[in-house]
Structure 1
Amino acid sequence: MSEFPTYDELLQRPFFFCGIGGSGMLPLAQILAGQGAKVAGSDRSRDQGRTSEKFAALEAQGFKLFSQDGSGITSKDQILVASAAVEDTVPEMVRAKELGCLKLTRAELNSILFNTSGAGIAIAGTSGKSTVTGMLGWIMHAAGRGPTIMNGAVMKNFVTEDHPIASAVVGGHSIYVSEVDESDGSIALYRPAVGVLLNVSLDHKSMDELRVLFAEYLHRSRIAAINADDAEALALLPHAKEVITFGIEQEKAQIGIVPGSIADGPIRQAAVVVDRHDGSEHPLVLHMPGRHNLSNALAAIAGAACAGVPVGVAVEALASFAGLARRFDIIGTSRSGVTVIDDFGHNPEKCAATLRTLKSSPGRVIAFFQPHGYGPLRQMGAELAETFARELDADDIAIMCDPVYFGGTVDRNEGTERIIAMITDAGGTAEHIASREECGTRIAQIAQPGDRIVVMGARDDTLTSFARSILSKIDDGAD
C-alpha cells in the first residue's frame, strides 16, 4: 500500500469518479465528500439519460457532474477513481494518463479508507454481503459507535429527503464497516480488525480460487465471524486467529437459534437467538423473510460481538432494521392481487434464496431474470439453470431477457437462450424474450390474482423502475 496516498493526503486532493453512479462508486464518493474532500464525476448512464433522478440527487448534494468526454479531468493533482473494468480508451482514462494523474480503482480507494480507520469491519462471502453490511452498520449505529458504512445497496434506515441514496453513512474515523469483494480478487487488499465470512460458493471465480482468497482473508483478520452452517466456510476456520461462529443448524455455533423458535412469515420472522458463550437467550424480530436473512442476522450479531457489542444490544437493534432497497423489496400489490418484488438475486445462491423464500408461501411465482453480463453468464450459466429448474414448480415460470450490456468490449456469443434451454431440458418452464420491455408486457399479460412476480438482476438501477412498470401495466390492464 506504500505507493498509495495516506488518509490525510487523500483528503487534500480533488477526486474525479469515472462511473460515479455505480453501486460501488457512489458510496465512496459520498464518504469522501462527507469527510471534506472535493468530489466530481461522470457516468455513461447519465449521458444515456438513464436513472436521471439519481444524478439529480447527486447534483443536489453538491457533486459536480460532467459528460464522460474527459472534460472533467483538468489537473494532474486530481485523483481518478475508476473500476478495474473501465477501458483505457474511455476519455477520462486517456486524459488522466496525459496529465499524469494518480489513478485508483474503487477497491484500492476503499481499502485505504478501511485500513487507515481505527477498526475496519469487513463482510465477505459470495452472497449476503450488502444485507449483512447494512445490518451490522445499523447495529453499530444503534450501539452509539458512530460508524462509517460503505455498502453496495441503499440502506432504508439511513434514507432521508436530503440523502435519498443512502448506500453510505459518514460517521467517525474509528469504525469503518464495509463489504469486501472477492469477485475481482480485491479482498486481498484489506486488513480487517473484524472479518465476517458468510459463505463460499460459485460466482465469478472457481471454487479453488475462492478458497485461497477467503483463507487468506481470515488469516489477516484479527478476529473472524464464520458461518458454521456453510461447509466451505467452516472448513476455512483453521486459517483464522480468533473466531466466533454462528449458525442456524450447527448446534455448536457460538451464536445460534433456539431449536423450534423460528416463526417465518411472508414479510417478517421471529426467532430466539442463543449466545452459547453464556447460555443467554434473546428474542429476535426481523422485518425480512427467509431463512437466508435469519442467517444474515446471525452473521451481523456475531460480527458485532467480535467488535465488542453485546448480543442483546445487537438483537434489539435488528428489530428496527428496515432492510435494503432491491433485497426482496416489495414494490406493491395490484388491485387484482398480484405482488411485484424487486430483488438483487444474480448468482445461483442468491437466486435460490429468493426463490425459496417465495415458495415458502402459497401462490404461483413468475421469476424474471436479467443476466448482469455475458461473462458471468458463461461462468455460472449451468448452475443458474439448475437453480431455476430445481426451485420453481411446474406451474411457475422463469422469463429471461438478453444480458445487460452498456457498451465496451465483451464476447457476446453465448447468451440467455442457452440457459433457457437447460431449464426446459430439466423439466422447468422458461421463456427467452430478447427485449426487457417485451418481457414486461408478457409478464403483465400472464399475471393472475395471487401470483408473485420477482424481478431479479444486478448492476442495473433501472430494474427497480422496470418492476414498477410491470405493476402499472397489470393495473392498467385491469381498468
Structure 2
Amino acid sequence: MNLNSIHNVYFIGIGGIGMSALARYFVANGKLVAGYDKTPSEITDSLRALGVEVHFEDAVSSIPKSCLNSESTLVVYTPAIPQGHLEFEYFKNNNFKILKRSQILGLITENTFCLAVAGTHGKTTTSSILGHLLNECDVPLTAFLGGICENYNSNLILNGTEVSVVEADEFDRSFLTLSPDLACITSMDADHLDIYGDASELKKSFVDFSKRVKPNGKLFVRNGLPIDGITYGIEDDSDYSVQNIKIENGSYVFDVKTPKTLLENLQFNLPGRHNLSNALIALAMAVEYGCPHRQLANALASFKGVKRRFTYQIKTDNFVYIDDYAHHPEEINAVHQAVREMYPNKKVLAVFQPHLFSRTRDFIDDFAKSLSQFDELLLLDIYPARELPIEGVTSAWLLSKIANKNKQLVSKQDLLKKIHESNAQIVLTIGAGDIGEEVKHIKKEFNVAN
C-alpha cells in the first residue's frame, strides 16, 4: 500500500497509547485524522487539541463524512476492539482499506533504518531512552512510543524520517510485521497466555521475531535468554555490561564495558535495576548505530523518564508517592526492588489493580508472592479491559492467597480514606487499568496533607 495516496486516516481505538502515536504521526504528515474510542481521556483531549475529530459512541452516523470515501480513507484498528463493533463491521463490509496498528508500523518503517525493542517487560522505557539518545545525537528519526516520554510530553518523537524507533509488541504476534536493522529482546517471561495458550508458544514467537532482523542487522539479547545475539547484562561477562554501580543523590553512577572500550562515570536518574538494564540496552543500540560516546553520556543523564513508569508524584522528606504501570508479577518485583533500594528503612503501602481476568488467573500464585513483599496492600477489583468475567477469578481470590497480614480489598470510593488510615511513608499505585485516573486525586489529596 502507498500511504501517500491516502488522504484520511480513521482510528478505531484512537485513545490507545500506541494508536495515538500513529494518529499524531499522520497529523504531522498532513493527513485528515479522526477516530472512535470508548471513553474520553487525557490522550483524546490532546488529540482534539491537534484538530483530530474524536467521538465516543460506536455509531456509523458519528463517522465524519470525509472518512466515508473508501478510495481515500485508511482504517486503522486495535486488536482489543470487541467483536461486533458496528463501525468496524461497516468499514469491513464496504471495501475500505483496513489494517492493524502493527501493520501500519511495518509499512512506515520498512523504508527506514529501523531499531526495534521487543520483550515482555521494558519495551516502553527502553524505546523512550533509545529515541531520546538518538534525538540528542541529532539522528533524523521518528520514534513511536508506548508511553508519554517526560522529555517531550508525547508518545511520538518526530525529527526526521530516515531512522525509526518502534516497540515490537508480542501481543497478537504484532512484532512479526517488522523487519528491523537493529533489535533487542529484553525479556521473555510468560504473558498474554489468552493469545498464546502456553509459555512455549510465546517463546517460539520471540524466536520467529529474531529471524525478522535483516541479514546484515544485529540482535541484542539480555544475558541468559535462549536466543543467540549480542548480550547485555548487569555486573556480568556480557558483551555490553554495567560495572562499578554506585548510588549518588538518588541516581545511578556506573561504567559500561562495550566490546571495544569502557565508558566511565555515566549517570542515569531512574531508580531500579530493571531501569538500569533498560538504559544499558538503549545505550548499546545507540553505540552500535554510531552515536558519539560523549553525546550519549550527556543524553543519558538528561533522560527524565516515562509517565506511569516509577513516576514520582510527590517526593518530600516525610512522604513519597510513586505511580507505576506494572501489571505482571515480574514487573511488580522490579518496582519492589527499586523502592527498597531507594528507601531501605521506610514503610511501603502498595495499591494494586489487577489487569485482565485471564492474566490474574494464569499468574495467581506469582501475583500473590510479589504483592506479599510490601508492608501493606490495598487491592482494587480486576480491570477487565477487553475481557468478560471468568467465574471464580476475583480480587478476593487473589487476596486470599497473599501472605501479608496488612491487606484488604478496597473500592475506588474508599481509596483516599484507606491511604489516610495507613502510616506508610511510601505509597505506590500499581497497575495498567484505569487506576491511572486515580493518580491526580491521590496527588491532590496528599500534596495538601504533606
1:409 and 1:136 map into 2 onto residues whose CA distance is: 37
* Secondary structure at 1:158 match in 2: coil
Q: Which of 192, 195, 199 is the aligned partner of 2:187?
A: 199
The one of 368, 381, 388 aligned to 1:385 = 368
> CA 1:16/1:320 → structure 2, altered by over 3 Å: closer, same or farther?
same
Contact 2:353 2:381 (C-alpha < 8 Å) held by counterparts:
yes
Contact 1:265 1:289 in 2 (8 A): no
Distance between the aligned counterparts of 2:270 and 2:202, measured in 1? 28
Equivalent-residue separation in structure 1 for 2:394 and 2:406 (angstroms): 18
Aligned residues of 1:15 and 1:81 also touching (Cα < 8 A): yes
Deviation at 1:347, TM superposition (A): 0.6
Of residues 261, 266, 271, the one that matches 1:279 is 261
Match of residue 310 from structure 2: 328
Q: Which of these residues, 165, 170, 174, is aligned with residue 182 of structure 1? A: 170
The C-alpha deviation readout for 1:273-323, integer Å capped at 9, x for no partner, is: 222x22333221111111111111111011112322244442331011111
Match of 1:400 among 376, 379, 385: 379
Asked if 1:358 corresponds to 2:339, the answer is yes
Query: Equivalents in 2 of 1:43, 1:148: separation in Å?
Result: 25
What TM-score results when the alignment is normalised by the length of structure 1? 0.85
- What residue is the counterpart of 1:257 in the other structure? 242
The alpha-carbon distance between structure 1 residues 333 and 305, as it changes in their structure 2 partners (threshold 3 A), is closer
- Larger strand fraction of residues: 2
Alpha carbons 2:80, 2:386 under 8 Å: kept: no
| 1:86 counterpart SS class | coil
Distance apart, 1:442 and its partner CA = 0.9
Secondary structure, aligned partner of 2:76: strand
- Report the counterpart of residue 446 of structure 1 in structure 2: 422
Aligned with 1:224 (options 202, 212, 219):
219
1:295 is the counterpart of 2:286: no
- Of residues 19, 42, 45, the one that matches 2:13 is 19
Alignment of 1:8-407 (within 5 A): 8-9=4-5, 12-46=6-40, 51=41, 53-68=42-57, 69-70=59-60, 71-72=62-63, 74-77=68-71, 78-114=73-109, 116-159=110-153, 166-205=154-193, 206-221=198-213, 222-228=217-223, 231=224, 233=225, 235-237=226-228, 243-251=229-237, 253-258=238-243, 261-264=244-247, 267-275=250-258, 277-333=259-315, 337-360=318-341, 361=343, 362-389=345-372, 391-392=373-374, 396-405=375-384
Worse-superposed segment, 264-273 or 180-189: 264-273
The 2-side partners of 1:24 and 1:57 are apart by 14
CA distance in 2, matches of 1:7, 1:305: 32
Q: How much has 1:458 moved relative to structure 2?
A: 1.0
Distance in structure 2 (CA, Å) of the matches to 1:224 and 1:292: 20
Structure 1 residues 384 and 311: CA distance shift in structure 2, 3 A = farther
2-side partners of 1:279 and 1:170: how far apart? Answer: 31
**What is the distance in 1 between the residues matched to 2:26 and 2:96?**
18
- Contact kept, 8 Å, 1:440 with 1:466, in 2: the verdict is no
One-letter amino acid matched to 1:423: I
Q: Tell me what 1:163 maps to.
A: none
- Name the aligned partner's letter for residue 201 of structure 1: D
* Displacement of 1:428: 5.4
Call closer, same or farther: CA 1:406–1:248 in 2, change over 3 Å. Answer: closer
1:409 & 1:465 partners in 2: Cα distance? 22
CA RMSD of superposed structures (Å): 2.2
Picking from 2, 14, 20, the partner of 1:6 is: 2
Indicate conservation of the 8 Å contact 1:264/1:290, yes or no: no
Greater CA deviation, 297-306 or 465-474? 465-474
- CA distance in 1: counterparts of 2:262 and 2:449, whole angstroms: 54
Unaligned runs of 5+ in 2: none
- Whether contact under 8 Å (2:356, 2:385) holds in the other structure is no
Matched-pair contact (CA < 8 Å) for 1:197–1:227? yes
Deviation at 1:110, TM superposition (A): 1.7
SS at structure 1 position matched to 2:18 = coil
Distance across 2 between alignment mates of 1:154 and 1:404: 21
The DSSP-based 3-state class of the residue aligned with 2:98 is strand
